[in-house]
Amino acid sequence: MTQAGRQGSPRNSSGRNSAGQNKAGRNPAQGGSRAGGAGYKGGGDRPFKHPKPREEAFIDPDLQGPAGEPADRPVSGDWKQGKPAARKPGSRKPGAGKVPGTPGALKPKPRSAAAKTFGTRAFGGERFGQNLGAVRKPSRKRGPRGDVPQSEMHDADGIRLQKVMASAGVASRRVCEEMISEGRVEVDGKVVTELGVRVDPKTAVIHVDGLRIQLDENMVYMVFNKPKGVVSTMEDPDGRPCISDFVRNSHGERLFHVGRLDVATEGLLLLTNDGELANRLTHPSYEVPKTYLVQVRGPFPQGIGAQLKSGVELEDGFASVDSFKLVDSTPGHVLIEVVLHSGKNRIVRRLFDAVGFPVLRLVRVKVGPIGLGDQRQGSIRNLGKQEVGHLLASVGL
């Protein structure tokens, strides 16, 4: 390559290299004078401009730190309180040193509702079980808090209420004290606001935000996802697969299955040794809702859902569903979600038979507030304490 070729190559086109080697820049006809060729950046026609002197950042005198602090350090409004401001990753952003609410200040990030309530919700720190939130019982008439005699529930030989709550996993003892002071805790149906109240964990009934706290560690609450072909009994004399084939009961307690599912029906079955809960969940007076997914042959004409909601006459009387929703439709099949509180035998299958659409597949996915979620078939899991509280509250316990 010739000298001229090397001079025009991209490697030598920078100001550093071309200033000493590009002799063509000395010719005014090719690029200007000797000074111009040396002062051009990149060898182009645009003259090189020297950078402007760096300006000192403006510091608001009202936001200055204490004596001795560097003037260019971002300062927050905490200096007025005498507290040093911790340097954060975003402190170099424009307006980072401004007091929130003033012109040019950074806008605070909005906090979600979950972030505001986390840590103050009962059993909010549980690692397993479904997060069902707080329970709000139907409002009932109460007297003023000051009229509630705290001494009636105080047990001198008992344990402090906040310690009992913390031991049950509600929250830390400090947060439990805040819950008591805010009037969110009930003992035996009465609101407690004093921190010195002692209770007997064996006999006291404690609610937090309407959520029942189960203090008996011997109580067992489980969810079984029953597969098709399993009999809803603990033992079967005919040798068919039954619930006990899937249960590993290390507690040595006798378990009850809440309600029944026929052999062909799949889905959620509650197991517990809490006899009172089992009786209330199956008693028709408590009207515990149950949710099913029903698969029938399609197409499904309009008007059948309204007929099921208004009521269908069966051999043992009228029956209806509480809600009806079309979930999915494929060629030849329709998936429907129905909710009903009736506990009659094979009620869902009989309802759909009565309207001329026999059930092809039936799965129970929810009982009261407890749902299957992504639990696999044939598996059993323990309910979380929050789920237990919701289940107990749904039947008034």
- How far apart, in whole angstroms, are the C-alpha atoms of residue 289 and residue 142? 29
Residue type at 295?
Q
How is 137-181 classified by DSSP, letter by letter? PPP-----GGGS-GGGT--TTSEEHHHHHHHTTSS-HHHHHHHHH
CB neighbour class for 317 (10 Å; exposed up to 12, middle 13-18, buried from 19):
exposed
- How far apart, in whole angstroms, are the C-alpha atoms of residue 330 and residue 278? 38
Contacts of 18 (CB under 8 A, 6+ apart): 7, 12, 25, 37, 40, 42, 43
**Is the bond preceding 201 in cis, omega lying within 30 degrees of 0?**
no
- How far apart, in whole angstroms, are the C-alpha atoms of residue 339 and residue 320? 10
- Rounded (10°) angle between helices 275-282 and 385-394: 50
Dihedral sign for Cα 27, 30, 35, 38, please: negative
Question: Which two structure tokens, joined as six digits, stand for 345?
Answer: 């035998």
* Strand ranges (E), the chain: 159-160, 185-187, 190-192, 198-199, 206-208, 211-212, 221-226, 256-258, 266-272, 290-297, 312-314, 317-319, 323-330, 333-340, 361-367, 370-371, 380-382
> Whose CA is closest to 362, among 390, 331, 340?
340
Q: Are strands 312-314 and 266-272 parallel, antiparallel or unpaired?
A: unpaired
Q: Which residues are catalytic?
A: 262
CB 224 within 8 A of CB 380: yes
CA angle (316, 319, 325) in 5-degree steps = 150
Question: Which two structure tokens, joined as six digits, stand for 216?
Answer: 């008996």
Contacts of 131 (CB under 8 A, 6+ apart): 386
